[in-house]
Structure 1
Amino acid sequence: MSQYLQAAILGLVQGITEFVPISSSGHLVVVRQVFNWADQGLAFDAVLHLATLAAVLFYFRHDWLKMVEAVVTKKQTYELRQARKLAGLIAVTTIPAIGAGLLFAGTIESTVRHLHDIAILMVGVGLLFFVAERYTHPRRDVSKLNFFDGLSIGLAQAVAIVPGISRSGATIITGMYHGLSRESAARYSFLAAGPIIALAGFYSLWQLFRGGISDGLGLELAIGFVVSFSSGLLAIHWLLKFLNKHPLNIFAWYRIVVGAGLLIFSWLK
């Protein structure tokens, strides 16, 4: 298969699964292993993450601009105070994931890259989706979250650096536990993804460029970026609309069925 077609497929997988709560890193590992494609590690994954970062920045551009204005200005309007609080919450949510990435990213990259590990996590988190739907009820919006709520969502985001868990899935169900609706939890999850995707992506890009880029790889990255950005925008828009009216059950069943299939595949391989 053409290396450029592979880049496009990986970009499509990344763009969709970064936001749909089924694990982007897990799906990238699975696709490469099932089709026996070379695994370029987390560095190439992060290049695709930069495309989804661009999608988050573009889709929520008004939110980001309002937060920037709130941070740099001394005005005290209600809207700016809420934007300033949201920026602070996102900062709190970001801290645990930074710590986890600095401490454990290398270990995770070398150990949690096997199908059976990802399969077990796919099933386990799928079951947690059912629990969240059964035992959580919307009772407040993002503006009512406090420091400890933001920290709790951040811890979920930190755990989700393990392939197969799903960053969006972990943060959405944690947000639901703290009283957010599915749609509000997803919206906060996507906003909180921005700093983490940016830091991970730029760090891995620095490693990639420092080691040198082989001939043709630049075009592969460009193709992957464009496809991932486009599909990421569509995924964000679709998921927010979907969660406004539907539960997480479809994603829970998807994770369980795919996880079971991967377990069987890994045993037969």
Structure 2
Amino acid sequence: MDWLQVVVLSVVQGLTEFLPISSSAHLILVPVLTGWPDQGLAFDVALHVGTLSAVVLYFRRELSDMTVSWTRSLATRRLDADARLAWAVILGTIPVGLAGLLAQDLVEAHLRSPVVLAVGMIAFGLLLGWADWRQRGTRDEHEITWRDVLVIGCAQALALFPGTSRAGITITAALLTGMSREGASRFSFLLSIPVIVLAGGLEARKLLTNGHPVDWSTLIIGAVLSGITAYLCIHYFLAFIRRIGMQPFVIYRLLLGAVLLWIYL
């Protein structure tokens, strides 16, 4: 890869991982639209490391409190708000983990096309817009119920469908259960941590077994750029979400989906 490709892919990953606009769709589309060669598995792992570092750093205090309370709950069998949130993140990850094991090969082989991406962008974009317009509650992530966890966790499994957006579908489901925009977004970001760990771990495992040489300077720069971009994205998204809502992202998804259909149909 040349340095322009490294910078563009790193920034795209950092911006789209936590916004409801589908990071996988953009990483597939960038090489298609630019003619660049595939960035390779090693670079994908590096981008995952960068975005994971960003979300862990941003929520470091919450994660520390959740870890302490979760550990205590194992001994006392009592759940305070932080322990409940930690269990919610763990249990909410199970559906997408199972779906990934069962359907990942099918998705990779048959669904990673621009037309499928366009359909996913439009359909799930409309669903996000409807959820944001129809029902917004006041509950934050610490007031999540086990029913909410089941709904959001199962919805997250749909993110395997290209163009869905993991952040988009989990925020949509959380809004429909009656959570606030901020609460839905913060829970979506926390829920991303085990998902990124699992996805990055699978990619790293493949990387370790393929025996190809690794350009460490490119990987480090990619991880740092994606991490910085993701951290800023999380910060400003949470700062402005109450005022801007989800509709700008819905409009972006609809426009991008329409352009892709126009080009590829």
Q: Distance in 2 between matches of 1:4 and 1:213?
A: 20
Deviations 1:122-173 (A, max 9, x none): 1111211221122112142323322221011111111112221100010011
Q: Distance in 1 between matches of 2:235 and 2:134?
A: 26
Is 1:220 matched up with 2:212?
no
Q: Distance in 2 between matches of 1:23 and 1:121?
A: 9
Aligned residue pairs, count: 263
Q: Distance in 1 between matches of 2:219 and 2:116?
A: 28
Contact 1:118 1:163 in 2 (8 A): yes
Aligned to 1:112: 111
What's the TM-score once normalised by structure 2's chain length? Answer: 0.93
Secondary structure in structure 2 of the residue aligned to 1:244: helix
Q: Give the Å deviation of 1:29.
A: 0.3
Contact 1:41 1:109 in 2 (8 A): no
What's the TM-score once normalised by structure 1's chain length? Answer: 0.92
Q: Give the Å deviation of 1:109.
A: 1.7
Contact 2:54 2:228 in 1 (8 A): yes
Aligned to 2:98: 99
Deviations 1:187-221 (A, max 9, x none): 000001000101110121121122123353x3222
Aligned to 2:261: 263
Q: Distance in 2 between matches of 1:171 and 1:101?
A: 16
Which 5+ residue runs of structure 2 have no aligned equivalent? none
Computed over aligned residues only, the root mean square deviation of the Cα atoms, in angstroms, reads 1.9
Q: Distance in 2 between matches of 1:205 and 1:165?
A: 24
Aligned to 1:134: 133
Contact 1:156 1:170 in 2 (8 A): yes
**Closer/same/farther in 2, CA of residues 125 and 46 from structure 1, 3 Å limit:** farther
Secondary structure in structure 1 of the residue aligned to 2:160: coil
Query: In the alignment, residue 201 of structure 1 is paired with which amino acid?
Result: G
Aligned to 1:70: 69
Deviations 1:79-135 (A, max 9, x none): x71110000111111000110111111221222221111011111112112211221
Contact 1:32 1:38 in 2 (8 A): yes
Contact 1:43 1:207 in 2 (8 A): no
